[in-house]
Homo-oligomer: A and B are copies of this chain.
Amino acid sequence: MWEPGGCESQVKIETEKEKMMKYIDTLREGMHVSDVYLCKNKQIALTKAGKEYGNLTLQDKTGTIDAKIWDLSSPGVGNFETLDYIFVDGDVTVFMNSNQLNIKRVRKVNEGEYIAADYLPVSSKNIEVMYTELLTLIQSLKNPYLKKLADSFFVEDQAFAKAFQFHSAAKSVHHGFVGGLLEHTLSVTKMCKYFAGSYPQLNRDLLLTAAMFHDIGKIKELSIFPANDYTDEGQLLGHIIIGTEMVSDRIRTIPGFPEKLATELKHCILAHHGELEYGSPKKPAILEALALNFADNADAKLETMIEVLNGAGDNLGWLGYNRLLETNIRKTSE
């Protein structure tokens, strides 16, 4: 499990650590590796000659690498399972244009032997700074009921606040990293603040509150890192319904919360995907719901393309058909 305290000192530890371990995105053919990695997946396969071998995916926060244990009966090969942290000793080769790690020795390590944050993809932005920015936006709310609601989650509910900072916003697609939910929520909320400044017809407090809460259901829809997979509740209900219910339940604890305002806030969360076929049971019927839908969609799609372009490194050419954007894409020329 991720060490919550690690969040505060994240920057410093990472600097030290970089001297010590070989991150996956720095591995090159011929390197020797003796380090701890997260075993994201483990399978036993059979060579043509009928011999069993281990087929692994190792992960750290910079990416993943395929790894093989050709001799499973070697004395240096210990027991471990998927999602264990393992110390591996081996060499980097290239197969079909991709790096591969041929493992000679492997053992499961104990909790003290690694820093979990090194093995999880993490937001490139400072989590503390982002959270402070979100709290400042909450302080700017003038409607006492909406402010009380936001406070009750983000300020007073410590467990929620920690989970919210740690969570990803997706299994993959975009913002699929530690702090991703916070980063996406903050980005959407700030865009909504821009909208509220540009279109005076918008109810600023309702819009900003809806933005802050629009994806909180993801806390229960996705399990925490390193698994980061859909939960049973997430599969059966989805984050839109879960989040609406979380907000609905909390509102009942706030005396005098106007009923119409509660319904409008829930509607904004329900309708934030914009279209029925994207999982929203209602289309945006009030102006704030429409604005939230655009902010969410713009941030999600722009971040999706940015992550793909970043992943392309120095490649300035066409990157091939992208299934999410439904077109071939490339970086802009300068």
Contact = CB atoms under 8 A, between A and B. Distances in A.
A306 interface: yes
Interface string A174-194: 000000000000010011001
A114 to B, nearest CB: 28
Interface string A317-331: 010000001111111
Contact of A245 (B94, B102, B245, B277): B245
Contact of A325 (B281, B283, B288, B327): B283
Interface string A235-255: 111101100110010000000
B327 A283 contact: yes
A303 B270 CA distance: 22
Interface stretch (A19-27, A44-52, A156-164): A44-52
Given A287-B306, A306-B199, A306-B287, A282 B97 contact: no
Contacts of A328: 230, 235, 285
A201 interface: yes
B96 A327 contact: no
Interface residues of A, number: 79
Contacts of A191: 194, 198
Contacts of A103: none
A227 interface: no
A249 B70 CA distance: 55
23 contacts: A44-B94, A45-B97, A46-B96, A50-B102, A191-B194, A191-B198, A195-B302, A203-B332, A232-B260, A232-B318, A235-B330, A236-B267, A237-B282, A238-B282, A261-B333, A261-B334, A276-B278, A280-B281, A283-B326, A286-B329, A287-B306, A287-B332, A290-B305
